[in-house]
Amino acid sequence: MARPDAKVAERDQMNVVIVGHVDHGKSTVVGRLLADTDALPQGKLDAVRRECERTGKPFEYAFLLDALEDEQDQGITIDTARCFFKSSARDYIIIDAPGHIEFLKNMISGAARAEAAVLVIDAKEGVRENSRRHGYILAMLGIRQVVVCVNKMDLVGYDQKHFEGIEREYRAFLESIGAVSPRQFIPISAIEGENLASRGKKTPWYKGPTLLEVLDALPKAPPKIDQPLRMPVQAVYKFTKQGDDRRIVAGRIEAGRVKVGDKVVFSPSNKVSTIRSIEGFNTKPRAEIEAGWSTGFTLTEEIYITRGEVMSHVAKAPQVGTRLRVNLIWLGKKPFVSGRDYKLKLGTTALPVRISKIHKVIDASRPDRSTGELRSPERSAGGQGDPPRVPDPIIGRHDVADLVLELRQPIAFDLTADCEATGRFVIVDEYDVAGGGIITEAVSDDLRDLRDEARTRDFNWVPGGVTSAERTARNGHRAALVMFVGKAGVGKHKLARAVEKALFGEGRAAYMLDGTNVLLGVDNDLWVDAAKSELVRRFGEVVHLLLNAGHIVVSTTNTIGLADATAVQALIPDAPLVLVEVGDGSGQACDLLVSGDEPEAEVVAKVRALLDARHITAV
Amino acid sequence: MDHLDQLEQQSVYIFREAFRHFERLCMLWSIGKDSTVMLWLARKAFFGHVPFPLVHVDTSYKLPEMIAYRDKLAFEYKLQMVVGQNKQALDEGDTFPIKLGKRPDMSKEEQQQLRTACCGRLKSDALGATLHGTGTRMRLNLETGKYEVDPDKQPYTGVIVGARADEEGSRSKERYFSPRDKHDNWDVGDQPPEFWNQFKTDFAPGTHVRIHPLLDWTELNIWEYIKRERIPTVSLYYDQGAGTRYRSLGCGPCQSPIKSTSKNVDDIIDELKSGALKNVAERSGRLQDGKHGLEELRRKGYM
Ligand SMILES: Nc1nc2c(ncn2[C@@H]2O[C@H](COP(=O)(O)OP(=O)(O)O)[C@@H](O)[C@H]2O)c(=O)[nH]1
């Protein structure tokens, strides 16, 4: 049997998205590429031409794509939203992204899967709104390989000056938004087939490659093997019921490589362990694995980690923080507003997030006409005499914004420039992804120093002979801090003691840490007017030691303030904190709210239930 | 990493995301090559295990070989096998083969209509009822080897389906995670965006999500993977000497084999690469695929 394409399996495949302002000729470019690379079913082109002649309509390549879509209903394997064609060098999937603004969601979904983009600009109409918007979005999505086709050159007499004018204007635009410079600007006529699959005769002044030549020359993005290791934990599996005792930490390595025996750290919990084995099904055993693989590991020291943590090497761990400066595009039907929670998904983690500060709202099609910092004060809607004020910028549908996001809990992340996969995120509003963006800067918060202290401490911690998993197994519970908060005189101390006694009575390792006792000893060298932060720090470190010893520590904020509970939390990133508020609610987030006059036994029962629910007890 | 590795790794990632986010997750298994590759990928994702039920809709007209193969793999891989069927339609004789048997002289057009209607009842309706839990689910008891009525009647909220973008037009517009509304409808025009690998994993009560781990695979990729991983397949795909084979598997009365002498996986791969089938639709052997019938089936997600 003849095997003309016997090597197909080893050939590269590349996803290319085609974008541009509506009517600038995307469909025509795609149709022409399919026709010129012989990717169409036999006789299709002629049939469409004949049909056009019969009905007296001028032939359009777009009709060809429509006809293909009809054809697909009977199952032929070509498609319009994704078209397949081959060059001599590789196989292509062209993702057709609609140019209408209403289809921006689809354009983004297509582009987010692409390795390269072809942006089409109409030579006669020039650079238009969506030429700019799409250019901006490509840059934000991290698509570095962009080819610009200046189409319909036939309409401007294949004029070199005209072409250069458009190239200059568009390059300047991309530069102004800090985007990567396109690989190539190509003067083409999709209708006449100039400089697409073959070199045209009408542009002798153009010495560059044809579109197909440029595409063929685009390098495949190398896997990110040489970057620092990043693996967001997707799940921890143990299929005990199926008779499998392996405890497997699973995820996709997004960057870097890792081998058996490597010491790894999980952020933001700072837990440290060592790779014991690399697991897989129907694969050869391996001692090393790298970016691109969805894999799984067993660890030498069993540690309690959960989905969302990022595995890395100790030396090059991701950043951890609560405030992120980002660039974001919003696609939600409702605007993105301050003062309420949304869900942020980054890597495999999902956390509540809200807007902290909007720097500016950028009109992606005209970044020079942005609002926010750049906007001049406007008059409010009120009466004549009102002073002018700058209204809060609104992030509406299709807007792009530069803003700071704030999370309640610390998250592990990277700047997008350092690692793409952990440097980008989406925002979920109700049930739908409503926006996405990239992290441009880590914004410091009050707890940064404490978090850094905890990280350095944990990464260099000298383990004893007993692991925390062994302690958990022996004790029948994990270590945790139960903290009673509330106004003075509501009975926190009494309740804390009762919980300690109840837990101890069940055989748990429980310990009530009274802040006063830390003051009396550990803080003895501090002056009466010592900085509060130092008291909190020392208190937190004492808690950390007790947790490391495997205890459920019960305490109150009697000697430190309520706000300081989060400071203590920054020092114990690896253990759960259960906040029990006594009183009628301060409005701050807590895990359990009990009133001061509730019977002690009931409070104890509630705390117990909560510890079970959080898998602190009931492991 | 080659192209097959890349496809495999992305599918594995999708499987794990689905398993994580949908407590009520199941996977449709038609016994065909695509969903059997999916089954294999699930085992890749979960280190040899398949931690969710597999749903098969049995029209009762499937070739016996397919059912035997299904149950053999179910025991071998320790699968949670759930089977649904439109018993009422079968009991009432409301099927294409029975009606044709009564009136063998009916016109081609009428046959086509009845075929489509039959698919609607035996496949779409049965599938809907099985997924929603309104119809009887039969679950394979691996100890007794018998199918028993499944006490679980809760609807599934995440349904893994083996759709490939290269199959036909509308498939190419699917996302990896595509929402379906309360009436199982798919609003193609207004799907949420899919950024990078952040999928739609939140859904309103009553709605569900279709998950497509094979979206980026082509027919050729499927066969190359079957070869590489040595995945067992039904022999109906191969020419047994008569010079014909099935390219896609459906019900006995409504499918015809294609002319092909491919006797094994290697032959099929050669045949696909040679372009010999370039102008033949993959499902062309399936007689029910009149244009409108397909539309409806696609909307319901059966295929
Ligand atoms: N003169 C001329 N017209 C073109 C060329 N390419 C596309 N067109 C026309 O521009 C119009 C819009 O093209 P189409 O491909 O549908 O644009 P899309 O909206 O970007 O897909 C159609 O009428 C095409 O015939 C070209 O190279 N030269």
Q: Please tell me the predicted confidence (pLDDT) of residue B95.
A: 84
Q: Which residues of A123-161 are buried (b: 16+ CB within 10 A; e: fewer)?
A: beebbbebbbbbbbbbbbbbbbbbbbbbbbbbebebeee
Do A251 and A348 contact (CB within 8 A), yes or no? yes
Judged by phi (left if over 0) then psi (alpha if -120 to 50, else beta), residue B43 lies in alpha
pLDDT at res. A4 = 40
Structure tokens at B10: 């992305």
Q: Which residues contact B20 (CB under 8 A, 6 or more apart)?
A: A234, A235, A307, B201
- Output the six-digit token pair for A69: 């879509």
In 3D space, the residue among A155, A156, A16 whose CA is nearest the CA of residue A90 turns out to be A16
Q: What is the pLDDT of residue A378?
A: 37
User: Which class for A527: exposed (0-12), middle (13-18), buried (19 or more C-beta within 10 A)?
Assistant: exposed
Of B168, B172, B198, Cβ closest to residue A433:
B198
**Using an 8 Å Cβ cutoff, are B47 and A281 in contact?**
yes
Q: Among residues A592, A529, A588, A131, which one has the least CA distance to residue A367?
A: A131
Q: Name the DSSP letter for residue A360.
A: E
CA of B207: which chain A residue's CA is closest? Answer: A431
Nearest to residue A343, comparing CAs of A425, A237, A287?
A: A425
| The pairing of beta strand A91-96 with beta strand A257-259 | unpaired
A195 lines ligand 1 (CB under 6 A): no
- Assign residue A246 a region: left if phi > 0, alpha if psi is -120 to 50, beta otherwise? beta
Tell me the C-alpha distance between A229 and A318, whole Å. Answer: 9
Which residues lie below 8 Å from residue A407, measured CB to CB, with a gap of 6+? A322, A323, A324, A344, A351, A352, A353
CA A316 to CA A228: how far, in whole Å? 6
> Which tokens is A283 given?
């694969």
A40-63: pLDDT as tens digits: 777 778 888 888 888 887 888 877
**Ligand 1 pocket, residue A559 CB under 6 Å:** no
Residue A116 near residue A38 (C-beta atoms within 8 A): no
Encoded tokens for A6: 């016997």
Phi/psi zone of residue A393: left (φ > 0), alpha (ψ -120 to 50 degrees), beta?
beta
d(CA B66, CA A81): 34
Place of tokens 């409808």: B185
Ligand 1 contact, A151 CB (< 6 A):
yes
Q: In which residue are the tokens 């389906």 written?
A: B161
Q: Cα dist. B265→A248, B22, B231 in Å?
A: 34, 35, 10
Enter the tokens of residue B11: 């599918």
| Beta carbons of A402 and A362 less than 8 angstroms apart | yes
B134: buried, middle or exposed (CB in 10 Å: 19+, 13-18, 0-12)? exposed
d(CA A337, CA B28): 40
As a whole number of angstroms, the distance between CA B54 and CA B18 comes to 14
Q: How far is CA B157 from CA A307, B84, B178, in A?
A: 21, 17, 12
Q: How far apart are the first and last CA of chain B?
A: 31
pLDDT score for A384: 47
Name the 3-class secondary structure at A61: helix
User: Which of residues B16 and B249 earns the better pLDDT score?
Assistant: B16
Residue B192 and residue A426: Cβ atoms within 8 Å?
A: no
What pLDDT is stored for residue A485 in this prediction? 87
CA of A23 to the centre of ligand 1 (A): 6
Residue contact B12–A74, C-beta within 8 A:
no
A223 part of contact set with chain B, CB < 8 Å? yes
Residues of chain A with pLDDT under 50: 1-9, 71-80, 372-389
**For A94, nearest residue in chain B (alpha carbons):** B172
**3-state SS, residue A326:** strand
B47 to A296: CB separation less than 8 angstroms, yes or no? yes
pLDDT, average across residues B29-56: 95
Q: How would DSSP label each residue in A91-144?
A: EEEEEE---SGGGHHHHHHHHTT-SEEEEEEETTT-S-HHHHHHHHHHHHHT--
Closest ligand 1 atom to Cα of A62: 16
- Nearest one of A208, A213, A122, A215 to A169, comparing CA atoms: A122
CA distance A283 to A295: 11
pLDDT (tens digit, 9 = 90+) per residue, A281-306? Answer: 999 899 999 999 999 999 998 888 99
Mind telling me how many Å the CA of A190 is from chain B's nearest CA?
24
CB contact under 8 A, B47 and A431: no
Residue B32 has phi, psi (to 5 degrees) of -75, 175
Phi, psi of A424 (to 5 degrees): -140, 160
Using DSSP's 3-state secondary structure scheme, residue A186 falls into strand
What ipTM was assigned to the predicted interfaces of this complex?
A: 0.88
A10 touching chain B per CB within 8 A? yes
The tokens for A3 are 């095997």
How does DSSP classify residue A145?
E
Counted across chains A and B, CB pairs separated by less than 8 A come out at: 176
Say which residues have a Cβ less than 8 Å from residue A28's Cβ, sequence separation at least 6. Answer: A60, A61, A62, A151, A190, A191
CA A337 to chain centre: 20
Is the pLDDT reported for residue B34 higher than 50? yes
Name the token pair of A207.
């010495």
Ligand 1 neighbourhood includes A155 CB (under 6 angstroms): yes
Position A564 scores a pLDDT of 72
How high is the pLDDT of residue A250?
98
> How is A537-560 classified by DSSP, letter by letter?
HHHHHHHHHHHHTT-EEEEESSSS
Whole-number Å distance, alpha carbon A571 to ligand 1 midpoint, is 62
pLDDT by residue (tens digit) across B81-114?
Answer: 999 988 888 888 888 888 888 888 888 888 888 8
d(CA B82, CA B147): 8
Q: Is A538 in the pocket of ligand 1 (CB under 6 A)?
A: no
End-to-end CA distance of chain A: 62
pLDDT at B171: 57
Yes or no, beta carbons of B284 and A75 under 8 Å apart = yes
